Amino acid sequence: MKPRILSGMRSTGKLHLGNFHGALENWIKLQNEYDCFFFVADWHSLTTDYANTANLKLFAEEMLIDWLACGIDPKKATLFIQSWILEHAELHLLLSMMTPISWLERVPSYKDIKAELSDRDLSTYGFLGYPMLQTADIVIYDAKKVPVGEDQIAHIELSREVVRRFNFLYKGEILIEPQPLLTKTPKVPGLDRRKMSKSYNNCIYISDTKEEVHKKIMPAVTDPSRKRRTDPGNPDVCIIHDYHRIYSPPEVVEWSVQGCRTAAIGCVDCKKKLLEYMDIFWEPVRERRRELAKSPKKVWEIAKEGTEDAKKTAKATMERVREAMKLRY
């Protein structure tokens, strides 16, 4: 038996290259070593986007298509939809009974995201409870490890505290304390070198066509002090160099660095070369994406089957929880 890991992604729109290299790429590797549960955290997207739910289904579908096109394999991993497993909500409720509000208020992302999204009213019960719901997601599957990014460490820490409190109150090893599974991932800045984010309008999406990617890369700002073709440039301040390091083989990176510093190549040459390697990487994904997008029914079928499987574990855990809390009558 392989150890179980679990991770989810909020469904707030199509995935970009930052999401891919920051999480999805790692999930794809982990599929072979672990019993993986990956889910669409659609309830979590409501914690910030509760006022606009029109696209929930579309976002879930697009995310599933992105996952599958990139190489998440439903034969290896269990894929499911959070809101289809009502047991998450029951466990969230029960855990909320014993979780001090101060534990939730001190999670750094609470204040950070509230400040970041200051145009929305996030002084809600649901948003405060974000890591509480995340705890329910994790412990309901007895997941020992949770692949997440740095920003989520505090959430897993809260989960551990809640589990300890639960096990202390109800006297037993009823729930399992999860551990974060941190993996080094490459930083993928947006086209303007800020963090890649929808709100900055600087994203390259997995679903972008080849032409769309070319249209984004070709006009991108490079080293701003390289005004003329004959001026030498500095790759260290250039987004094209950041991307070369992700997609191009070492000798091509070397070629671009040397060429840039000596003005032997122009930015157009450098960008065209990058696009060759980005296309080699992304064209097969785009091809699979196009196929999947033709039959969304099949995609939802995969989610349905995965959800049925996941539900079995969630139900068994809830039996244990109700038993421990003397809630079975």
Q: Does 310 bind ligand TRP (CB under 6 A)?
A: no
Sheet holding 77-81, edge to edge: 77-81, 35-41, 4-10, 145-147, 179-181
Rg of the chain taking only CA atoms, in angstroms: 22
47 binding partner (options ligand SF4, ligand TRP, none; Cβ < 5 to 8 Å by kind): none
- Please, which of residues 145-184 interact with ligand TRP by CB under 6 A? 146, 148, 152
Point out which residues bind ligand SF4 (CB under 6 A). 222-223, 226, 233, 235, 238, 240-241, 256, 260, 265, 267, 270-271
Q: Are 152 and 12 in contact (CB under 8 A)?
A: no
- Please answer whether residues 284 and 276 qualify as being in contact, where contact means their C-beta atoms are separated by less than 8 angstroms: no
138 lines the binding site for ligand TRP (CB under 6 A): yes
**Closest approach of Cβ 187 to ligand TRP, in Å?**
16
Which of the listed partners (ligand SF4, ligand TRP, none) does 122 bind, with a CB threshold of 5 to 8 Å by partner kind? none
- Contacts of residue 140, Cβ cutoff 8 Å, sequence gap at least 6: 85, 87, 88, 91, 313, 314, 317, 318
Q: Which is nearer to ligand TRP, 112 or 323 (CB)?
A: 112
> Min. distance of Cβ 247 from ligand SF4 in angstroms?
13
Which two three-digit tokens encode residue 4?
């179980």
Inter-helix orientation angle 87-98/296-324, to 10°: 40
The Cα–Cα gap between 81 and 36 comes to 14
Nearer to ligand TRP, 10 or 271 (CB): 10
Beta strands in 170-307 (DSSP E): 179-181
Q: Which stretch binds ligand TRP (CB under 6 A): 6-14, 227-235, 241-249, 288-296?
A: 6-14
Query: Which of ligand SF4, ligand TRP, none does residue 146 bind (CB under 5 to 8 Å by kind)?
Result: ligand TRP
Binding ligand TRP (rule: CB under 6 A), the pick from 19, 96, 134, 317 is 134
Q: How many CB atoms lie within 10 A of CB 40?
A: 27
Whole-angstrom distance, CA of residue 89 vs CA of residue 163: 16
45 touches ligand TRP by CB under 6 A:
no
| Closer residue to ligand SF4, CB minimum distance, 131 or 259 | 259
For ligand TRP, the closer CB: 44 or 226:
44
* Interacting partner of 8 out of ligand TRP, ligand SF4, none (Cβ under 5 to 8 A depending on kind): ligand TRP
Class of residue 252 by CB neighbours under 10 A (exposed 0-12, middle 13-18, buried 19+): middle
Q: Tokens standing for 270?
A: 């450098």
Residue 228 Cβ vs ligand SF4, minimum distance, rounded to whole Å: 12
Q: Site for ligand TRP (CB under 6 A): which residue of 42, 62, 66, 137?
A: 137
By beta-carbon proximity to ligand SF4, the closer residue of 197 and 262 is 262
Cα separation, 263 vs 326, in Å, equals 74
Residue 6: which of ligand TRP, ligand SF4, none does it interact with, CB under 5 to 8 A by kind?
Answer: ligand TRP
